[in-house]
Structure 1
Amino acid sequence: MSNKVPNSINSSYGPPAFTHEFASEDEENDEQSTTVGLLPKHPSVPLAVRYSPEDSYGLVYIIFFLMGIGSLLPWNFFITAKHYWLYKLSNSTHSSDDKDQRSNLSDYFESYLVIASTVPSVLCLILNYLLVNRLSANVRILTSLGVILAVFAVTTVLVKVDVSDSRMEFFFGTLASAAVVSGASNLFSASVFGISGHFPMRISQALISGQAMGGTLSATASILDLAVTEDVTDSALAYFLTADFFILLCIITYLLLPKLAYSRHYMLAATCTSAPVQSEGTAGRSSVPPLQPILRKTWILGLSVFYVFCISLMVFPALSSGIQSVHTDSGSRWTTTYFVPLTSFLLFNFADFCGRQSTVWLQVPGPTSRVLPTLVLCRSILVPLFMFCNYQPRDHLHTVLFQHDAYPIIFNCMLGLSNGYLGTLPMIYGPKVVPRELTEATGVVMSFFLTLGLAVGSAFSALIVHSI
């Protein structure tokens, strides 16, 4: 199957030398498509915005990379702080024999956390699609970052608060915080991804690679905190303060974005594209973007994104973080303290980052190839592979086929690399295979498929954990 990019792909997909050739082909194809009746025709982009300035010192690339870190870092900080949540949800501050409550609250906490954080995200992305032409991207991005910073500030304060007598309240409060943070993060991520669609593909790749780096940073911070101090609360305090710093950094760098000539150029081009739509009044800019022409171009890419992240969330983190070293009885810090943070969180996120970053140099298979969805379906084998590792506790499925610590390491590498590569390709292809005026809305639609995959995968992860 040929991987040749169809002529309808917008100009920012192709090499710079062929920008105008793609643009003229877009206009011819758009006139023949059904989108003519849904979208007003727009004049050619003014000469002033046809020639792109250079991204001096790669500052715009760096800013979008930081935006990518900030979009997934809050959620990753929540799920990676496993030792802290186990401490808070047990009677660690008092001597206790309340084993049952710890089992109910902490043993399945990660499954509940993933469900609570992904299901509301689907609703937030629907809201984002409805607001994409009603609220500016600046309002959506800065508001969501402000909400995330406020929730993390409260979470940081609670680190030093004794909740041993109100564990249930803390449990539900944490789930509510995760839901708010995840919803705001997805609103932020979809809005930034929509903006990146107006830029060349390298900027979209910077954003997606930054998302993987957010998970790597959170896992690294967790391990460093465990190594520096043995006190759980001191470790968690430094951990969440790190998250506060990065969220604040995202706000500052985003405010710098309009001051750079490179970003102003592409935002001006985007404004020129949508300007005639705005002039239509309530029937134009204030209307909801047409969904049918977007889905017609991107439904296979969207389903690929959905299934990639559905499989990943079935396994990570609820199942993968429950896999213990087969040498736990030795009592070494490697098997008792560092095995899960290193093999589950850090290894998966680093492999995910490598998979995403590799799309900068390799973009195969192409957006129209049937090989891409075939490879996505092949990832299904990863679920039983993880189930038959040394996951503990095991109440129903007692068979452990992979009785060596090397197996979860290999499987996490496979999970992360395939998630990064196969999840990134359709995400960057999606906004490039639609007319330019639908770029931002398509970014939101692709983010919706991603988040829907997270939500469905998280629901199945809870069933898998209970079945084991």
Structure 2
Amino acid sequence: MSLEKESTAPADRRQAVALIVFVLGLGIMMPWNFFTTASQYFNERLRVVNVTGVATKDYQYDSWMTLLSQLPLLLFTLLNSFLHQWVSERIRVVASMCGFFLLFSVTAALVTVPMHPDTFFSVTMATIWFINMCSAVLQGSLFGMVGMFPHRYRTLFMSGQGMAGIFSAIAMLFSILSNTGKSSAALGYFITPCVATLVTLLCYLVLPHLEFARFYLNRTGELELLSISDRKILNDVNLEGKSQQSRLSVLAVFKKIWLMALCFTCVFAVTLSVFPVIMVRVHTLYKGNAAWDRVFTCVCCFLLFNSLDFVGRSTPSLIQWPSKDSFLFPVAVLARIVFIPLIMMCNIENSRFLVVFRHDVAFVTIIALFSFTNGYLATLCMAYAPQLLRCSLDCETAGSLMTFFLVLGLALGAAFSFLLGNLV
């Protein structure tokens, strides 16, 4: 029926649906990326110093931000699996985006409001919790909707997610390079996701009015495309398929994909343990150059990481090595652990760890390899897992399991970042 459906589908005029799907993917990843990239702004506002200028309190913003981003994602992703039975997709998506807009607006407004660091930290952490709660509901809702479109549109949706990090890093770079003061630059930075959220919401509301989108989203009319004889043939094929194929239990599916699931967890646990918590503490060797010092973290940490991660996610469409059956694949995943001490040995000021790589070139090289392997190996894990199953009916179960292990890896990395942060 899918072949029949695609052969009779109308054209995606001017690739409007493709563009909207890309924007939706970008929109759902904005909260995490904008709060991560603004690390310098939040750490400056939370800086408490004594009369000698020495910091007297460390709020560990990056560690708490990472942890309080992943916990609601885990909890409300599970909740959304039940919520969709009682609340329509349209209500869930619109409510989540309105939540984005409101919470980003509050964050932007607080830029000009003087607050005690303790109060500001509490308000910021609460904002991060609720904004990621909305993000979890939004992701689950949009993933289901995009799944109704052909495969190319799911790829565009993932590409949009990858571009979100680059978008936020460029927005931060423009705010830093602007001639306005710090407050005005930060205000402009947080207004950007407010505008982007409104654009994303508008795109979502326009989508059902496009002929191409209506064709795939109107699932109730699928069987009406088939003649009576075609329906009989389809029913016979379904009955035969059910007799030849039976859905495996969750445990049975896990036994087949357990290696890929654990590799998936390891990839993101390693990444979140040092990004951004450790990476943002690295300073440039050329502190005398004020202009480079201002943009160093934004360019060499966030923009570089997100750009190479995007390249890594795109590379498996050209080459897939090591293969899923090769022992080199889990070895390559485990080998990424070496990036943790390598990044900790970069030029971190007042570090209690051994500093070996002081030059900026060394840091850039390490981050380039670190981010590329993150995107590349994570994408391979997602591509290989369904290939380990013979029955297509089990791919949905495999996808759910891989999503769980993805969030598990993020949560473990966030928790581990507290320990590493104290070590340096």
Is the 8 Å Cα contact of residues 72 and 136 (structure 2) preserved in structure 1? no
Mapping 1:157-196, distance limit 5 Å? 157-163=109-115, 166-196=116-146
Using the TM superposition, give the Cα deviation of residue 146 of structure 1 relative to its aligned residue in structure 2, in angstroms. 1.9
Paired positions, count: 400
Using the TM superposition, give the Cα deviation of residue 59 of structure 1 relative to its aligned residue in structure 2, in angstroms. 2.4
Of 455-464 and 424-433, more deviation after overlay is shown by 424-433
Separation in 2 of the partners of 1:439 and 1:272? 22
Separation in 1 of the partners of 2:309 and 2:3? 40
- In the other structure, the counterpart of 1:454 is 410
The answer for unaligned runs of 5 or more in structure 2 is 224-234, 236-248
Is the 8 Å Cα contact of residues 208 and 214 (structure 2) preserved in structure 1? yes
Of 232-241 and 189-198, more deviation after overlay is shown by 189-198
* 2:290 alignment partner AA: S
Separation in 2 of the partners of 1:457 and 1:211? 20
Mapping 1:227-242, distance limit 5 Å? 227-242=177-192
Of 168-177 and 443-452, more deviation after overlay is shown by 443-452
- In the other structure, the counterpart of 2:197 is 247
Using the TM superposition, give the Cα deviation of residue 168 of structure 1 relative to its aligned residue in structure 2, in angstroms. 0.2
Choose from 58, 79, 103 the match for 1:127. Answer: 79
The answer on 1:104 being equivalent to 2:58 is yes
- In the other structure, the counterpart of 1:418 is 373
Question: CA, structure 1 residues 52+436, in 2 after alignment: closer, same or farther (shift >3 Å)?
Answer: farther
Using the TM superposition, give the Cα deviation of residue 214 of structure 1 relative to its aligned residue in structure 2, in angstroms. 0.7
- In the other structure, the counterpart of 2:150 is 200
Mapping 1:71-150, distance limit 5 Å? 71-90=28-47, 99-101=54-56, 103-105=57-59, 108-150=60-102
* 1:262 alignment partner AA: F
- In the other structure, the counterpart of 1:22 is none
- In the other structure, the counterpart of 2:268 is 309
Using the TM superposition, give the Cα deviation of residue 368 of structure 1 relative to its aligned residue in structure 2, in angstroms. 6.4
Is the 8 Å Cα contact of residues 205 and 356 (structure 1) preserved in structure 2? no
Choose from 207, 212, 225 the match for 2:175. Answer: 225
* 2:97 alignment partner AA: L
How far does the alpha carbon of each residue in 1:2-35 deviate from its partner, in whole angstroms, 9 at most, with x for none? xxxxxxxxxxxxxxxxxxxxxxxxxxxxxxxxxx
How far does the alpha carbon of each residue in 1:151-189 deviate from its partner, in whole angstroms, 9 at most, with x for none? 1111111111111xx220110110111111122223322
Is the 8 Å Cα contact of residues 208 and 356 (structure 1) preserved in structure 2? no
Separation in 2 of the partners of 1:338 and 1:441? 44
- Sequence identity, in percent? 31
- In the other structure, the counterpart of 2:242 is none
* 2:369 alignment partner AA: M
User: Secondary structure at the residue paired with 2:112?
Assistant: coil
* 1:419 alignment partner AA: N
User: Secondary structure at the residue paired with 2:367?
Assistant: helix
Is the 8 Å Cα contact of residues 70 and 247 (structure 1) preserved in structure 2? yes
The answer on 1:381 being equivalent to 2:338 is yes
Is the 8 Å Cα contact of residues 129 and 441 (structure 1) preserved in structure 2? no
How far does the alpha carbon of each residue in 1:210-236 deviate from its partner, in whole angstroms, 9 at most, with x for none? 122111111111111111135111001
Choose from 359, 363, 366 the match for 1:404. Answer: 359
The answer for unaligned runs of 5 or more in structure 1 is 1-43, 277-289
What TM-score, normalized to structure 1? 0.76
Separation in 2 of the partners of 1:247 and 1:131? 23
Is the 8 Å Cα contact of residues 204 and 428 (structure 1) preserved in structure 2? no
* 2:301 alignment partner AA: S
Separation in 1 of the partners of 2:346 and 2:191? 34
Question: CA, structure 1 residues 356+449, in 2 after alignment: closer, same or farther (shift >3 Å)?
Answer: same
Question: CA, structure 1 residues 61+377, in 2 after alignment: closer, same or farther (shift >3 Å)?
Answer: farther
Cα-Cα RMSD: 3.2
Is the 8 Å Cα contact of residues 194 and 442 (structure 1) preserved in structure 2? no
Choose from 7, 25, 44 the match for 1:68. Answer: 25
Question: CA, structure 1 residues 135+438, in 2 after alignment: closer, same or farther (shift >3 Å)?
Answer: farther
What TM-score, normalized to structure 2? 0.83
Using the TM superposition, give the Cα deviation of residue 364 of structure 1 relative to its aligned residue in structure 2, in angstroms. 5.1
Higher relative contact order by CA 8 Å / sep ≥ 6: 1 or 2? 1
